[in-house]
Amino acid sequence: MIRRLQPRLLLQLGMFLCSATLVWSLWSLSLAAETTNTATVAKSSDLASKASALTRRVIDEQFIQSHQTELSFWINGIPGMEEPFLGIPRWQYAASVVYLILAFYLSRALDWFIQNRLKHWGAKTLTEWDDILVKLADGPVKAITLVFLIHIGLELYDWPSWLEINLSRLSLIVGAIALTFIALRVIDLAIAAWRRQPKQGGDVAFNDQFVLLIGKLLKAVLILITSLTLLGNLGVDITAILGSVSVLGLAFGLAAQDSVANLFGAVAVFVDKPFKVGDRIKVGSDVDGVVEAMGLRATQVRNADGFLITLPNKSVGNNTVINVSARPSIRTVLNYGLTYDTPAHRIDFAASLLRSIFTAHSLTGECQVTFNRFDASALNIEVNHQCLTRDLPTYQTALHGLNLQVKERFDAEKLEFAFPTQTVFLKKDTSVPANSSV
């Protein structure tokens, strides 16, 4: 029975403390507002000046003395609490402990409100911005609120100097960590929002990998800057640290210059998008194949022989890249040779026949048929054909069907294809008598 009541009692106690802290805070602010010089506030032209004037009144020594009973939670009225301990009245210690407990539960109450109320209200709306703001506020707001209340407590109560210094440093560290955590969560939410967007072309895996790398680099830079700034504010001399970081960065850059060059090559590929996975590309004069994978260090290409070629991104960025798959269509020049005994009107008929065969195909765009030259062993008819497809297998299938039709129609019309031939004429030597013997 006691175990069942413990959570409920703790919850009731926590809610009571939160309510008490909230009421006390509102009461203190109202008392401060009553004692605020209205002329000073009237001169303030903006909200920041008014808030600054009110804050100075809240932490003013006269205000603390005039409202000592409320700020001490009436503990100073207990006999013996006015006696000093280590130079500070005892009620200051007790009131500080009560204040810290109330500040802790008030921050917990604010965190509970965000998790249970704001998140529920945000889920009912159609926009995503409120959900993103709730996710950002979930967690760090509790720490920031606690740090803010501790900072106010440092001004309201007399603390031992060593404790005040340590609490001030601790609040600075916690506040910096909380703000850094919010910034890191902003980066994560931005990356998640980018990855949820529909992708149009490109290598989705490579793009996601690259964006994740950029996110990690941003996080590392943010943590480094926050750490150095925090150490500087805590009184640590960061000059030597910056010098060491610079030397280490220079040494790392010299040792990993190829890796850095490959990384910048990946950045160029990501930004320019000259090709994607599945494209046939030509890099320089040696590499011709289909892109199978794209990474931060290298790009893998499968050539026509089936070999997998790994290209460092540095070489991809420094060489000319021809994206064969990016062409809108495939253009081919075909040559059909007729024998030399073919008459002129039959040559013209063959050209018309080729023109009708190619133009009748559904994938044919432009088609030019010309009798262009006399070869050594053939009368050549050239067909400049445009196939309206980017897909190589589709093009090969279409060309296969067209060549079959050409062969069938030429055979039916008795048009002979030429092949390399040689005619040898033997000249008889008449200077030697036929009946002479050697």
pLDDT digits (tens, 9 = 90+) for 200-240: 555 566 666 677 777 877 888 888 888 877 777 777 777 77
Q: Is residue 213 part of a domain?
A: yes
Beta partners for 300?
293, 310
**What's the domain count of the chain?**
3
Query: Do 371 and 407 have their domain in common?
Result: yes
Q: What is the CATH number for 363?
A: 3.30.70.100
Q: What's the token pair of residue 321?
A: 């890249």
What pLDDT does residue 31 have?
Answer: 44
Cα torsion 166, 171, 174, 180: sign: negative
Query: Do 49 and 135 have their domain in common?
Result: yes
Strand order in the sheet with 379-387: 330-338, 379-387, 364-374
Q: From CA 260, how far away is CA 84, in angstroms rounded?
A: 65
Q: Is residue 113 part of a domain?
A: yes
Contact 291, 274 (CB under 8 A): no
Q: Is residue 52 part of a domain?
A: yes
**Which residue spans within 268-363 are E strands per DSSP?**
280-283, 287-294, 298-303, 308-312, 321-323, 330-338
From the CA atom positions of the chain, what is the Rg in Å?
43
**Which amino acid appears at position 400 of this protein?**
H
pTM comes to 0.46
Query: Do 30 and 171 have their domain in common?
Result: yes
Query: Do 222 and 297 have their domain in common?
Result: yes
Query: Do 161 and 36 have their domain in common?
Result: yes
pLDDT digits (tens, 9 = 90+) for 101-121: 877 778 777 777 767 766 666
What pLDDT does residue 12 have?
Answer: 44
Looking at 326, 354, 370, the residue that finishes a domain is: 326
Query: Do 215 and 168 have their domain in common?
Result: no
Looking at 197, 226, 242, the residue that finishes a domain is: 197
Q: Is residue 73 part of a domain?
A: yes
Q: Is residue 430 part of a domain?
A: no
Query: Do 267 and 232 have their domain in common?
Result: yes
Looking at 274, 300, 326, the residue that finishes a domain is: 326
What pLDDT does residue 15 have?
Answer: 44
Contact 389, 336 (CB under 8 A): no
Query: Do 273 and 385 have their domain in common?
Result: no
Query: Do 40 and 186 have their domain in common?
Result: yes
Q: Is residue 434 part of a domain?
A: no
What pLDDT does residue 335 have?
Answer: 94
Residue-range definition of the domain harbouring residue 384: 330-412
Point out the residues of the chain with pLDDT beneath 50.
Answer: 1-58, 436-438
Residue ranges in 159-203 assigned as alpha helix (H): 161-196
Query: Do 59 and 24 have their domain in common?
Result: yes
Contact 106, 148 (CB under 8 A): no
Q: What is the CATH number for 292?
A: 2.30.30.60
Q: Is residue 419 part of a domain?
A: no
What pLDDT does residue 430 have?
Answer: 63
Query: Do 165 and 209 have their domain in common?
Result: no
Q: Is residue 92 part of a domain?
A: yes
Query: Do 141 and 229 have their domain in common?
Result: no
What pLDDT does residue 388 have?
Answer: 92
